[in-house]
């Protein structure tokens, strides 16, 4: 994919500004490309499911994206947070350099597709009734998860990239931003366990 194939060497001939050293590791673009390639799969699968008018495929996409999103957050909040806390700052930064680009497109894509496909499913099954307290509960939790995603996760991820690209990256700041995201993943896991409780109720009753 050409979109991340910018080469600093080529840019050197265009702008003298890039002669300054950059802290951005060489593997960052490769991990971003991988993240984008995987991140595109869920929305494309949803488009296919809707195009062939298959409730089964849409349901499959919804359950798989929702479970993957929840699983990632539980893993991050319960397992990775403990591992990160036990590491020294330089080691945390090394993990962040790899974790941030790898999850950059995948997690927002999983979240957006899980929510969108959930709304289509609820509409198709005649359960999208805004007077229903269970639907309102699901909507409320989705709003919290979305605000956390757009307001904290994504900006922190971008700020980590920007810090890494600085002439003198601040390892303490990178570690702090990463730990903020890891802790937030733990709180997202709690909300997702709650939303699955709501989903289980909607599926059965």
Cα of 72 vs its chain's centroid, Å: 9
User: Given candidates 76, 96, 99, 104, which one binds another protein under the rule CB under 8 A?
Assistant: 104
Distance in Å, CB of 46 to another protein, minimum: 6
Number of residues that bind another protein (CB under 8 A): 48
Can you tell me the distance from the alpha carbon of 11 to that of 68, in angstroms, rounded to the nearest whole number?
38
Q: Nearer to another protein by C-beta: 24 or 199? A: 24
Contact window for another protein (CB under 8 A) among 72-80, 89-97, 116-124, 132-140: 116-124
Structure tokens at 82: 């403990």
Cα of 202 vs its chain's centroid, Å: 25
Distance in Å, CB of 132 to another protein, minimum: 17
Q: Nearer to another protein by C-beta: 45 or 202? A: 45
Does 3 bind another protein (CB under 8 A)? Our answer is: yes
Dihedral, CA atoms, 182, 188, 190, 193, nearest 10 degrees?
Answer: -130
Structure tokens at 2: 């050409």
Q: Minimal CA–CA distance to 31: which of 192, 174, 164?
A: 164
Q: Nearer to another protein by C-beta: 64 or 119? A: 119
Q: Nearer to another protein by C-beta: 127 or 197? A: 127
Contact window for another protein (CB under 8 A) among 80-88, 153-161, 174-182, 194-202: 153-161
User: Given candidates 71, 78, 88, 123, which one binds another protein under the rule CB under 8 A?
Assistant: 123
* 159: exposed, middle or buried (Cβ count in 10 Å: 0-12, 13-18, 19+): middle
Q: Identify whether the C-beta of residue 38 lies closer than 8 Å to the C-beta of residue 9.
A: no
One character per residue 6-45, x = contact with another protein (rule: CB under 8 A): x-x--x---x-xx-xxxxx---x---x---x--xx--xx-
What DSSP line would sit under 53-87, residue for residue? T-HHHHHHHHHHHHHHHHHHHHIIIIIIHHHHHTS
Structure tokens at 73: 């957050």
DSSP 131: T
What residue ranges bind another protein (CB under 8 A)?
A: 3-4, 6, 8, 11, 15, 17-18, 20-24, 28, 32, 36, 39-40, 43-44, 46-47, 50-51, 104-105, 108-109, 112-113, 116, 119-120, 123, 146, 150-151, 154-155, 158-159, 161-162, 164-168
């Amino acid at each position: 994919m050409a979109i991340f194939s910018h080469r600093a060497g080529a840019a050197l001939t265009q702008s003298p500004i890039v002669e300054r050293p950059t802290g951005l590791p060489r593997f960052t673009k490769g991990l971003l490309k991988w993240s984008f390639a995987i991140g595109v799969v869920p929305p494309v699968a949803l488009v296919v499911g809707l195009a062939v008018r298959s409730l089964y495929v849409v349901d499959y996409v919804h359950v798989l994206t929702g479970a993957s999103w929840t699983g990632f957050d539980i893993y991050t909040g319960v397992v990775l947070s403990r591992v990160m806390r036990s590491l020294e700052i330089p080691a945390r930064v090394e993990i962040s350099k790899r974790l941030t680009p790898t999850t950059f497109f995948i997690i927002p894509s999983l979240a957006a597709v899980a929510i969108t496909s959930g709304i289509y499913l609820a509409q198709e099954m005649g359960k999208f009734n805004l007077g229903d307290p269970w639907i309102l509960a699901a909507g409320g939790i989705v709003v919290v998860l979305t605000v956390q995603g757009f307001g904290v996760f994504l900006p922190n991820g971008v700020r980590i990239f920007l810090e890494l690209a600085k002439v003198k990256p601040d390892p303490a700041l990178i570690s702090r931003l990463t730990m903020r995201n890891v802790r937030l993943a733990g709180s997202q896991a709690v909300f997702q366990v709650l939303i699955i409780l709501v989903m289980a109720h909607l599926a059965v009753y």
